[in-house]
Amino acid sequence: MDLVIFIPTLTVAFISRSLLLFSDGIDFFRSFAVFGTSLYILRRIRKGQTTNYDYGAGKLECLGSLFGAGIIISGLLVLGVIAILRCRHGVALDAGFTSVGMLVQAVGIVVNGFFWHRNKRLAHETRAPLIEMQWRHNRTDTLAGGAVVTALALIVIFHHSAWSVYIDQVCTLGYVVYAISLYIPVVRDSLYEMLDRTLEEHLQIKILRCLAEHFDEYEAFHGVRSRRAGGRIFIELNLSFNDESSVGNVVATISEIRQRLESDIPRSEVIISIESPQK
């Protein structure tokens, strides 16, 4: 769909000289780069080609998400600088082609609104960083499309007024600030995932509660390590057992703790290693 409307949209933006319509150009370049990266990552995941990643392809997804958000923010900053420079002297837009641009944006609102809600549902189900970035992008396009149509309508209606030459630049700056604020959480979350931060406090409390409930079944607790990899959570516990405990009892205890934690913490994988009791 992007390939089909790419050239007509940029042509209308160039002739009408509207920065708001040029903002679509940023989205197109982002789409071509990020969708290609996303498709590559998702195809590898689907085919199971993740043997180089013991903890899954979560890091690869986060990298793709960070790459996409970076492209968008960079393009928006460039657009903002141009808008500021154009504020020094107003630019009159071509009313006819501006109206055509309004029609293109209206179609985009309908399409992006559909994918906004669809991808948001998929993001909640899969917790995939790439899909999380995509629904935020669709939301930005939908809301921005409504703002662009409104701004272009004002330009067409008041094109005879002297102040109308500043509407495009002012609205563009507002769009840039709003859109960047929406993508900052994507960058922050992706960086956190890349840095292997530990689990949140409420999840750590669940781990300690489970260990307390099985306190009489193991000899000592030697520590816990946790990490996130995309939408998955990995927890490693180090326990020691009494020398007199049978293998069957140890296996049963480990199984109970693992099942309890994986039930309490969705999308988690629990590994319990046994250490020698300290004398």
Give the global pTM.
0.54
Task: Give per-residue pLDDT as tens, 181-240.
Answer: 877 877 777 776 666 566 677 888 888 899 898 888 888 888 888 777 656 788 889 899
Query: Residues 205, 168: one domain?
Result: no
Is 167:155 a contact under the CB 8 Å cutoff?
Answer: yes
* Total length of the chain: 279
Q: Which of helix, strand or coil describes residue 258? A: helix
User: Do residues 189 and 218 share a domain?
Assistant: no
Residue 240's beta-bridge partner residues? 220
Q: Same domain, yes or no, for 152 and 234?
A: no
Is 166 part of any domain? yes
Q: Is residue 74 part of a domain?
A: yes
Domain endpoint, select from 172, 194, 216: 194
The total number of structural domains that make up the chain: 2
Asked if residue 279 is part of any domain, the answer here is no
pLDDT band at residue 154, thresholds of 50, 70 and 90?
A: confident
Predicted confidence (pLDDT) at residue 91 exceeds the cutoff of 70: no
- Residue that finishes a domain, picked among 128, 160, 194: 194
Average pLDDT rounded to a whole number, residues 123-130: 74
Q: What is the pLDDT of residue 166?
A: 78
Q: What is the mean pLDDT of residues 75-101?
A: 76
Identify whether the C-beta of residue 148 lies closer than 8 Å to the C-beta of residue 171: yes
Q: What is the spatial distance between Cα 140 and Cα 129, in angstroms, rounded to a whole number?
A: 17
In this structure, are 29 and 50 located in the same domain? yes
CB neighbour class for 76 (10 Å; exposed up to 12, middle 13-18, buried from 19): buried
Highest mean pLDDT: which range of 30-34, 38-42, 137-141, 172-176? 172-176
Q: What is the mean pLDDT of residues 104-110?
A: 82
Mean pLDDT of the chain: 78
Q: Please report the pLDDT score of residue 59 as a whole number.
A: 65
| Residue 84: domain span | 2-194
The CA distance from 24 to 172, in Å, is 12
d(CA 33, CA 38): 9
* Of the residues 194, 216, 251, the one at which a domain ends: 194
| CATH assignment of the domain containing 8 | 1.20.1510
CB atoms within 10 A of CB 166: 15
pLDDT at 269 over 60: yes
Q: What is the pLDDT of residues 27-72, one digit of tens each?
A: 677 667 667 777 777 787 777 765 555 555 566 667 766 777 787 7
Percent of residues, the chain, with pLDDT higher than 90: 1
Structural domain includes residue 182: yes
Same domain as 90, residue 59: yes
Residues 127, 48 within the same domain: yes
Torsion angle, alpha carbons of 92, 14, 143, 36, to 10: -160
Please indicate, yes or no, whether residues 113 and 42 belong to a single structural domain of this protein. Answer: yes
Statement to judge: residues 209 and 188 lie in one domain:
no
Residue 118 banded pLDDT, cuts 50, 70, 90: very high
Above 70 in pLDDT, residue 259? yes
Residues 148, 221: one domain?
Answer: no
Contact 228, 57 (CB under 8 A): no
Residue 177 lies in a domain: yes
Residue 110, in any domain of the structure: yes
Task: Kindly give the residue spans of alpha helices, DSSP state H, lying in the chain.
Answer: 2-16, 19-46, 58-86, 95-126, 129-157, 167-194, 201-213, 247-264
Same domain, 33 and 143: yes
